[in-house]
Structure 1
């Protein structure tokens, strides 16, 4: 789907969030930036917990300000109300965030509250049923065109462990040349690689030196520096169709190796999600990588970047950034 999706009301806006993030937020604040009448970035942070209202508001506003074209914002608070009183969850944090966003010239158009039983305009007594989100035009349309944010993409039990592990190459120049040529051929081809090719690539990903080159060569608009590529500093707009394909191929490669050898592919998928601007989905894959291989270093380093609020350079550049097909 390449055409724009029309958001006609609050239920549509709430429905779009899981599709944009790749998962359903819980105990979170979500800020959606707006560029005139179109949506820009979608940002999610864990609910404040012990964070002071001003500190929390300034941090989230800093992230939102990376969208330099934003002219307004929407705020959605995801919180399960358990008390019987009428107090609003995180009222001081919402007030502080509204003030900070206004000072940053991104005034809040609307604040919404979503719980496990209803949704409402924040600060009102209304309790709208969640079915109105499920049945909204946005959710129906996005689901029809194949978006499935509630689908568990990675399930080790479903992938199975009844496959033999692969052996990493020695890392010679010949190994590197073969791995890069094979990776390029697979990304430029139609369909998925056969089992022999998939296992050869999965083996190459087990070697740190070869893996870094394969990561780099996923992007065709690079200056040769792995450090620059890793942080999303590209010479031009990357071929995002190729990036989408690399993510799909990485998932296929996980099927031909047992648990304990999937971390490099999970890290690739997480890194590509981060380049696209989806920090929440990226962190999910990187966490899985660090669980597949205890403290897998590249995944740990990338998670540290994300948790510090670092946004990939390419995701901050409107001319080079990934354009979500669904909205």
Structure 2
């Protein structure tokens, strides 16, 4: 199958551009979050790994920041950009050199930013800039100009950004929040689930009979043909919905490890978006534990195109369905180590090379 087109390269040179791009970098619109973006390259303008956590309580800051530093360090950044996303009001602080002057407004969450800067500095990683993103504006914690006073701020860039256009081209959908990502692949309702369970039982019995008659290898090849047909039918402009029996057939097919690994290669093909649509549908509709394989394939496809948020949500679904599913466990370890999408691509190619040579 043909390789996917090379990933699009988008450079964001202004802090406001990065602040406005957060929903596209994360896959959803963050709220009350600390976001850290890796900056790489000779100019320090190439964006790398993006990590997000909920704003931690003071007693949890050290532990949370230690994990962020460890994660970002795997990307070998030349520097990082800190962004606090919060709707909190300004703090009031008494300047030590002017205790008689009363309390002055101060950008919120400055102690968190201070601790984050120290944590990254302790790991030898410079913080290029620290920003507050709030109510359609951004502030720099380091800026002393009038534009960065608590009551001011700089409006986020308006219009469709280059990154937004690139995200749309790759099929990324920006959700309102992380909960919306979870709902995107949430299991179907009770009546639909009952119908799917019956279809899976019937198809499973049919496959057992065919395996006894034709042999398992023949059944596997039929399953691969079904996967290819479903992906082809899910191409651009497709509105056809898989039947319960089709979902059951594909879900049973992906329980075969070799077939699943062949399907893994679709993440690097020009059919990646169509394959992701199929994996999403199977994850939603297949009952546990048949949803574990498509959910993990969905996680791989999302991670390869840089959508870490969806990758993690899909992986949570896979491990929630079948905690011992080895493919999901291995991928969980890789994502926890912040293995870059480029490394995932390389591993997929290496895993697929021997099989390609045999065919």
TM-score, normalising length from structure 2?
0.64
Mapped to 2, the partners of 1:261 and 1:127 lie a distance apart of 53
C-alpha contact 2:36 2:51 (8 A) present in aligned 1: yes
How far did 1:312 drift?
6.1
Structure of higher CA gyration radius: 2
Mapped to 2, the partners of 1:129 and 1:88 lie a distance apart of 10
Change in CA separation of 1:5 and 1:307 when aligned onto 2, cut-off 3 Å = same
Partner residue of 1:251 out of 280, 300, 309 = 280
- Structure 1: runs of 5+ lacking an equivalent: 222-237, 323-327
Partner residue of 2:78 out of 71, 77, 91 = 71
How far did 1:110 drift?
0.9
Partner residue of 1:239 out of 265, 268, 282 = 268
Runs of 4+ in structure 1 displaced over 6 angstroms?
159-163, 258-262
Partner residue of 1:104 out of 109, 113, 123 = 123
Structure 1 partner of 2:204: 169
The C-alpha deviation readout for 1:231-288, integer Å capped at 9, x for no partner, is: xxxxxxx725444432122235578x58889944445423432455543222334556
Structure 1 partner of 2:255: 210
Change in CA separation of 1:52 and 1:312 when aligned onto 2, cut-off 3 Å = closer
The C-alpha deviation readout for 1:102-157, integer Å capped at 9, x for no partner, is: 34343111111113464211254255678634436446645775654137575589
Residue 57 of structure 2 aligns to a residue in which SS? coil
The CA RMSD measured in Å over matched residues stands at 4.4
C-alpha contact 1:33 1:73 (8 A) present in aligned 2: yes
Residue 37 of structure 2 aligns to a residue in which SS? strand
Mapped to 1, the partners of 2:112 and 2:131 lie a distance apart of 14
Partner residue of 1:54 out of 42, 46, 62 = 62
How far did 1:94 drift?
1.8
Mapped to 2, the partners of 1:305 and 1:50 lie a distance apart of 31
| Structure (1 or 2) with the greater helix fraction | 2
Structure 2 partner of 1:315: 341
Is 2:298 aligned against 1:269? yes
Change in CA separation of 1:184 and 1:136 when aligned onto 2, cut-off 3 Å = closer
The C-alpha deviation readout for 1:193-237, integer Å capped at 9, x for no partner, is: 9667x645521354497265553222249xxxxxxxxxxxxxxxx
Structure 2 partner of 1:219: 264
Mapped to 2, the partners of 1:189 and 1:138 lie a distance apart of 30
C-alpha contact 2:304 2:341 (8 A) present in aligned 1: yes
Structure 1 partner of 2:101: none
Report matched runs for 1:145-160 at 5 Å.
145=169, 147-150=172-175, 155=184
Structure 2 partner of 1:180: 224
Partner residue of 1:282 out of 298, 302, 311 = 311
Structure 2 partner of 1:39: 47
C-alpha contact 1:201 1:253 (8 A) present in aligned 2: no
Mapped to 2, the partners of 1:300 and 1:18 lie a distance apart of 31
Structure 2 partner of 1:81: 88
C-alpha contact 1:72 1:105 (8 A) present in aligned 2: no
TM-score, normalising length from structure 1?
0.69
How far did 1:97 drift?
2.0
What is the aligned length?
A: 299
Is 2:159 aligned against 1:135? yes
Structure 2 partner of 1:114: 133
